[in-house]
């Protein structure tokens, strides 16, 4: 079985500052990794995904994430955030070659202040 730990439940930052949202996973098999964003009162939208290959993955809205197999991490980063990035971010994992089930972390609420 897979599990995901998002280390910070809330992250406040100022506009134009860099941000890193941390995600660690646990799995006995190889995995696919995903980051989703949820804006207030909306559904979840895929930000980026890691399937294989290059460990640095770029997504929408200037976000990127780096897969680190030895540390079982998939941290999300953005070099300069905007007010509009205020949202909740979810890290998720699924097993390669296994069930399609996605296991989600508990989420990190990013608040960008002016």
Partner 1 sequence: NAGVTQTPKFQVLKTGQSMTLQCAQDMNHEYMSWYRQDPGMGLRLIHYSVGAGITDQGEVPNGYNVSRSTTEDFPLRLLSAAPSQTSVYFCASSYVRGKNGYTFGSGTRLTVV
Q: Which residues would be at the binding site for partner 1 (CB under 8 A)? A: 6, 9, 32, 34, 36, 42-46, 49, 51, 90, 92, 97, 100-107
Minimum Å distance from CB 46 to partner 1? Answer: 4
- Render 69-97 in DSSP notation, one character per residue: TTTTEEEEEESS--GGG-EEEEEEEEETT
Dump the DSSP string for 35-52. EEEE-TTS-EEEEEEE-S
Helices and strands counted in the chain (H then E): 0, 12
- Contact assessment for residue 91 and residue 34, using Cβ atoms and an 8 Å cutoff: yes
- Nearest approach in angstroms of CB 5 to partner 1 is 11
**Cα dihedral sign, 70-59-52-28:** positive
Find the shortest distance in angstroms from Cβ 91 to partner 1: 9
67 vs 90, which CB is nearer to partner 1? 90
Of the pair 69, 101, the CB lying nearest partner 1 is at 101
Tell me the closest approach of the beta carbon of residue 43 to partner 1, in angstroms: 4
Nearer to partner 1, 97 or 114 (CB): 97
**Which residue, 42 or 80, has its beta carbon nearer to partner 1?**
42
């Amino acid at each position: 079985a897979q599990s995901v730990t998002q280390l910070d439940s809330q992250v406040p930052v100022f506009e134009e500052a860099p941000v890193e949202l941390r995600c660690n996973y646990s799995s006995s098999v190889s995995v696919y990794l995903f980051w989703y964003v949820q804006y207030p009162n909306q559904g979840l939208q895929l930000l980026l995904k890691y399937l294989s290959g290059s460990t640095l993955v770029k997504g929408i809205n200037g976000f990127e994430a780096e897969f680190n197999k030895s540390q079982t991490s998939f941290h999300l980063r953005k070099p300069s955030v905007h007010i509009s990035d205020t949202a909740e971010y979810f890290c998720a994992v699924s097993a390669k070659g296994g069930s399609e089930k996605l296991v989600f972390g508990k989420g990190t609420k990013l608040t960008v202040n002016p």
